[in-house]
């Protein structure tokens, strides 16, 4: 069974998420990765060998697309690097994604250390 992971990052956290993916590329290589638009494009450019499907940009519907995947039980984990120090114009989308992850008991990581823990958990 292929593990399917969603990766999302706010603008100020995109570099951190790309660095995390680069560091974990060997573990992510056999996984299906879905990501919101710009995040997916950045990961795909850094690591073209990974299986990355870039959805729409978060504010343009990408967050909802990932939410639908959660509700349809199509994901094994969500890594969502949120920037708590920047204003979030689409704060409602952020809350909706985290709410869905909690409702459906989906492993959710919002920082590098929790992303490491979630990756370890889903890789078992």
Residues taking part in catalysis: 63
Report the C-alpha gap between 45 and 107 in whole angstroms: 26
Say how far apart CA 76 and CA 12 lie, in whole Å: 25
What DSSP string runs through the chain? ---EEEEEE-GGGHHHHHHHHHHTHHHHTTSEEEE-HHHHHHHHHH-TTSEEEE-S-GGGTHHHHHHHHHHTT--SEEEEE--TTS--TTHHHHHHHHHHHHHTT--EE-SHHHHHHHHHHHT-
């Amino acid at each position: 069974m292929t593990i399917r992971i969603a990766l999302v990052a706010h603008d100020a956290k995109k570099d951190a998420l790309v660095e995390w993916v680069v560091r974990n590329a060997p573990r992510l290589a056999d996984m299906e990765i879905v990501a919101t638009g710009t995040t997916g494009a950045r990961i795909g450019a850094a690591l073209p060998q990974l299986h990355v499907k870039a959805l729409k940009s978060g504010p343009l519907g990408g967050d909802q697309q990932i939410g639908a995947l959660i509700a349809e039980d199509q994901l094994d984990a969500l890594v969502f690097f949120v920037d708590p120090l920047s204003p979030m114009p689409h704060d409602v989308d952020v809350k909706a994604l985290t709410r869905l992850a909690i409702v459906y008991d989906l492993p959710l990581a919002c920082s590098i250390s929790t992303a490491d823990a979630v990756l370890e958990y889903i890789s078992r």
